[in-house]
Amino acid sequence: MLTKIFGSSPRVKLIDYLVAHPWEEFSKTQLAEGAQITRPTVYKLLSSLIQEKLVIKTKKVGNIQLYQTNRKSPIIKHISSLQSLLADMEVDKQKKNSINEQTNISEAELDELLGTDDDASRILKTKEVLHVLKVNK
């Protein structure tokens, strides 16, 4: 979500991925795959993110160091809030688009769907359906 506002730089992609998965632990390879950036780039970015206390080292599995979002970081908390807000805005946008989409339907198909056979009944039934859609919106 952050990449829609801040662009798709490797740093933004990595932070976006980490904030989207705050409870998970990742190896450098997993971070590269998840954020869709190269491993050498992850190596470069992780040291600065750790210095800035945005990412923490968690544990080692064999020789592999795992990393996680520093959920205690005030910056991460704000980024997470922003990401949630952006997700909510996207959901609202999708809802609005789906309601505004018009479906081409013949009168016969409409009659069949609404269980009507004349214009007056169709108008009344359509008004009822639209009312229900507005109430449930």
Q: Which residue has the higher pLDDT, 42 or 95?
A: 42
Domains of the chain: 2-74 (1.10.10.10), 99-137 (no CATH)
Task: Please report which confidence band the pLDDT of residue 87 belongs to, taking 50, 70 and 90 as the band edges.
Answer: confident
Contacts of 26 (CB under 8 A, 6+ apart): 18, 34, 66, 67, 68
Cβ atoms of 65 and 57 closer than 8 Å: yes
**What pLDDT, on a 0 to 100 scale, did the predictor assign at position 89?**
83
Position 92 scores a pLDDT of: 81
pLDDT recorded at residue 85: 85
Average pLDDT over residues 20-34: 95
pLDDT > 90 in the chain, percent:
49
pLDDT for residue 63: 95
Give 126's pLDDT tier (boundaries 50, 70, 90): low
How would residue 36 be classed by pLDDT, with cut points 50, 70 and 90?
A: very high
